[in-house]
Structure 1
Amino acid sequence: MKNDSSDEFYKRLKEELLRTSTWPSDYLYKFIVPTDDDKIKAIERIFDNTGAVIESRKSSKGKYTSLSVTVNLADPDAVIKNYREVAKVEGVISL
C-alpha cells in the first residue's frame, strides 16, 4: 500500500514530529478497529516486546474497538514504521 499520498503524509508527519518533540519520546497511537480478535491481536503483535501500554475500549454497540497504544520510541522513523505496519491490518483507522 505504498503510494505517493501516503509517502507525502509520512514525510510531513516526520517533519512535524522532529519540530514538536524531543527524542526518544513517548508516542500515543490511536486506532479504531472492527471488533475482531485477529485484527486486534495483529496490532498488539506489532507492539510486542516494545514496552507499549495498550488500552482498548469497545464501542457502545460493540462493532468497533478503540486501541490506545503508548510506547517510548527513539525517533520519528520508529513512529512511522509502526504506522506502516498497522496500515497492513485491514479495516484499521489511524487517528
Structure 2
Amino acid sequence: MDENQKTDAFYEKLKSQLYDTSSWPSEYLYKFIVETKGSSVQDIENFFNNMGAVIETKESKKGKYTSVSINVKMETPEDVVGKYKEVAENVKGVISL
C-alpha cells in the first residue's frame, strides 16, 4: 500500500468514526504542529478565517515548534476531512494530530 492509499484509508476511517461518535453539525477540535519560524502558524489560521473558530497557539519549551489548536463548528465529517486535507496540501511540514 503506497502513502496515498494509507492517507485515504486514514481519512475514510476518521470520517466513519466521526459519524459514529457525534451528531452533526458539531464542534471539532483540530490540532496541528508546525515549526515556529516562517509563516506556517499564520497560514493554518488563515484556513479557518471567518468560520468563528477559537484558535490557541503554544510554543514548545525551546521555541522550535508551535502547536495550533482550533475549535470550530463543522457541518459534516466530510468538511472535517476536507479541512485536514486543505491544510496538509498547503502548509509544508505540518503534523496533524
Structure 1 segments unaligned to the other structure (5+ residues): none
CA RMSD in angstroms, aligned pairs only: 1.1
The size of the alignment, in residue pairs, is 94
Return the offset for 1:63: 0.2
Q: 1:1-95 maps to which residues of 2 (within 5 A)?
A: 3-88=4-89, 89-95=91-97
Q: 37-46 or 13-22, which moves further after superposition?
A: 37-46
Q: Tell me the TM-score normalised to structure 2 length.
A: 0.92
% identical aligned pairs: 53
Runs of 4+ in 1 over 6 A off after TM superposition: none
User: 1:1-49, CA deviations, whole angstroms, 9 ceiling, x for partnerless residues?
Assistant: x811111111100100000000000000111110024111110111011
Q: Distance in 1 between matches of 2:37 and 2:87?
A: 15
Amino acid in the other structure paired with 2:92: E
Structure 2 segments unaligned to the other structure (5+ residues): none
